[in-house]
């Protein structure tokens, strides 16, 4: 296998080649860094660890020679720029921070303990507010399928890096769809985990109950492997999730038939209308699931109102992150508007919103009394062109984001796990995607069915 093919391979393939000695971590990381440099115009990365990553790769090779090997040993990985990596500035997509942090976030610590080599930080809109990865600081992040189109957001840099084959996995976060939306735009698998599944330390929370962290990958099994490394509670976690009965990797490898899968193309908001191709992707996937032996039927989820719980946490989350930056005068004009508009979103209001979100979660649990999984579109529209945020105020940016979050944001309020997975190619040459939502702590069921769909309908990759 050519070294460039190794760089663009997935986690499992890279791990096997490293184990076989077909490639060293030093060779793999050096080629990865060269590929990242060559693709600078993609706008996927904001910071690159050239010297540090090479040194860590050499150490991984020494550890392998000594027989000390972890599940991600020697594999390059990228981290969204709101997650702490020691020695780098945690920018949150802003110019308002300038001092490198001294310690890794818990997620990064676990990845390193498993042997991963962090090669850099990926782009995001300021504080992850928008479904488009564009900022006045870092410019736009381009979709590898069509560089005139958006990657979605807010984990758009992570999505672009993986879709372009620059790294096999990148860590993102999801506070309203920010793992799933970029995965849908870029033809990736992206699972938003159950609330509390992955620790947020050293931060108490990510947008209060809304935000969670997780990987974006090209394949389901790769995602499961990484989740088995980063999941697990900490004693001081604000939210926790019970350990699954089987590992995520086991779930992605097991067969399954006879599940009850409901489908719906109804968005959470009447302001969004799904594109006909996205509807077709759901119907085609429902047909395929039936052929695979599942009981598939249309449902009306009767989605409850949720924005009264979402917006206090959105505004409160942005305000909280902005309160901790070093140079607030350097924040984008649009972010300053968000902060002003959200002046009311203080702790008592946010605590009320969290309680309201728990009530919403109980209401949507009724959907899962009749089905094991819910199948929907991931986004309502096709991936739009670049420049969605050009000249946009906070209100206009929110309006433009509606078709992107119309199927995703509810599940951040409720905390349920949900994943976007590829569903073919649209007439515009861009990926189609569908979303699988599970009951509370239902990631293993999602992974099993997503892997089954992936095997029956292999994921495509961008050309060139």
- State the helix-helix crossing angle for 307-322 and 347-364, rounded to 10 degrees: 140
Which of 8, 135, 173, 178 is catalytic? The answer is 178
- 263/267 Cα distance (integer angstroms): 12
Catalytic residue among 154, 173, 213, 264: 154
178 is catalytic: yes
CA gap 255, 260 in Å, rounded: 15
Which of 80, 173, 213, 223 is an active site residue? 80
Active site residue 80: yes
* Residues acting as catalytic residues: 80, 154, 178
């Amino acid at each position: 296998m050519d070294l460039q093919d190794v760089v663009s391979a997935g986690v499992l393939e890279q791990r096997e080649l490293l184990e076989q000695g077909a490639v060293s971590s030093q060779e793999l990381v050096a080629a990865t860094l060269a590929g990242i440099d060559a693709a600078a115009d993609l706008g996927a990365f904001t910071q690159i660890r050239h010297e540090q990553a090479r040194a860590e790769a050499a150490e991984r090779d020494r550890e392998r020679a000594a027989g000390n090997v972890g599940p991600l040993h020697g594999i390059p990985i990228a981290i969204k720029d709101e997650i702490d990596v020691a020695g780098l500035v945690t920018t949150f997509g802003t110019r308002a921070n300038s001092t490198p942090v001294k310690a890794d976030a818990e997620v990064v610590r676990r990845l390193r303990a498993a042997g991963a080599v962090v090669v850099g930080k990926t782009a995001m809109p300021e504080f992850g507010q928008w479904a488009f990865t564009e900022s006045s600081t870092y410019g736009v992040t381009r979709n590898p399928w069509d560089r005139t189109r958006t990657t979605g957001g807010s984990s758009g840099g992570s999505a672009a890096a993986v879709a372009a084959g620059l790294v096999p996995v990148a860590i993102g976060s999801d506070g309203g769809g920010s793992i799933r939306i970029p995965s849908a735009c870029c033809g990736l698998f992206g699972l938003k985990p159950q609330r509390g599944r992955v620790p947020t330390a050293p931060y108490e929370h990510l947008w209060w109950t809304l935000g969670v962290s997780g990987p974006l990958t090209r394949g389901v099994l790769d995602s499961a492997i990484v989740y088995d490394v980063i999941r697990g509670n900490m004693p001081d976690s604000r939210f926790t999730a019970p350990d699954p009965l089987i590992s995520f990797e086991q779930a992605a490898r097991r067969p399954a038939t006879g599940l009850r899968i409901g489908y719906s193309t109804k968005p959470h908001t009447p302001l969004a209308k799904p594109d006909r191709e996205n509807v077709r992707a759901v119907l085609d996937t429902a047909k395929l699931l039936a052929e695979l032996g599942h009981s598939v039927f249309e449902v009306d989820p009767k989605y409850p109102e949720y924005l009264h719980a979402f917006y206090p946490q959105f505004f409160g989350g942005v305000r909280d992150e902005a309160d901790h930056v070093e140079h607030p005068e350097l924040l984008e004009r649009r972010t300053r508007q968000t902060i002003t508009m959200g002046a009311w979103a203080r702790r008592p209001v946010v605590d009320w919103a969290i309680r309201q979100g728990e009530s919403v979660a109980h209401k949507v649990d009724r959907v899962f009394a009749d089905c094991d999984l819910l199948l929907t579109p991931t986004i309502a529209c096709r991936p739009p062109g670049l420049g969605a945020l050009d000249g946009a105020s906070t209100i206009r940016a929110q309006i433009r984001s509606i078709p992107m979050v119309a199927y995703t944001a509810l599940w951040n309020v409720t905390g349920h796990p949900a994943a976007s997975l590829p569903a073919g190619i649209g007439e515009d040459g861009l990926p189609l995607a569908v979303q699988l939502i599970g009951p509370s702590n239902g990631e293993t069921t999602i992974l099993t069915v997503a892997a089954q769909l992936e095997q029956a309908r292999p994921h495509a990759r961008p050309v060139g």
